[in-house]
Amino acid sequence: MMRRWGAGGAIAASTLVVFLVSSCTGGRESHAAEEQLPKKNPIAANANAPAAAPTVDAQQDLKSISRAIPIYAGARYRDDLTRRDEVTIRNQYGAQSKVYTLATDDSFPQVYHYYTTYLAQFRAYPPQNPYPPEQQTWRTLEVQLNQAMQDPFIPGDTIQANGQQVTLQVAETEAEPKTVIRYIVTPTPIATASKGGGVGPQTAAR
């Protein structure tokens, strides 16, 4: 009888322990893998980290001045060339001036032909030979677009004569890219801007 009671007592004691454990864990067994570890505070972002440089969309910026501004389809904006040109342009045209430098591996005659043909639709732009001179070593083109793009033969978009001033410079280079295209934007007219001058031989970075 004592042995039988001892076994029964052990079973009862075990049942009581299981009941108490189940009560503490919401009616189910507790497993170590399910325990919630205390959450750590996320690493705070470095407030002193330099902000990413804003992406420049040269075409959108120029089209915001006038949808009529011609942009050579084969040219791509070059941030490295733009930064290099900014120092010279601001020294020459003032601190408020901006420059967007594009480049293409197309030959200078191709680019020259596109711009002179496009500008020929405006009466204010004097007729030009659609091809550049072949004897010149380093060929260039410079056009003050606010002056040239007035009085079109076919009614269309123009540039405000008294708005932001845009000067186009196209230059043949000594290396790749073969042709560099600059758009110089100033708040006031550039007195020195004239057709066919102002840009010397260029050495473009790859």
Over residues 33-49, the mean pLDDT reads 51
Least confident span in 80-89, 95-104, 137-146, 186-195 = 186-195
pTM of the model: 0.68
How does DSSP assign the chain, residue by residue?
-HHHHHHHHHHHHHHHHHHHHHHHTTTS---GGGPPPPPPPPPPP-TTSPPPPPPP-HHHHHHHH-TT----TT-EE-HHHHHHHHHHHHHHH-TT-EEEEEEESS-HHHHHHHHHHHHTTBTTSPP--SS--SS-SS-EEEEEHHHHS-SBSS------TTSSEEEEEEEEBSSSSSEEEEEEEESS--TT--TT-S---B----
Sign of the alpha-carbon dihedral angle for 71, 76, 79, 84: negative
Would you say residue 191 has pLDDT above 80?
no
Written as six digits, the tokens of 156 are: 């269309």
Average pLDDT for the chain: 77
Indicate the pLDDT class of residue 156, thresholds 50, 70 and 90: confident
Would you say residue 163 has pLDDT above 50?
yes
More confident residue, 193 or 112: 112
Least confident span in 18-27, 74-83, 168-177 = 18-27
Least confident span in 19-23, 63-67, 138-142, 177-181 = 19-23
Over residues 53-106, the pLDDT tens digits come to 568 899 999 999 999 999 999 899 999 999 999 999 999 999 999 999 999 999
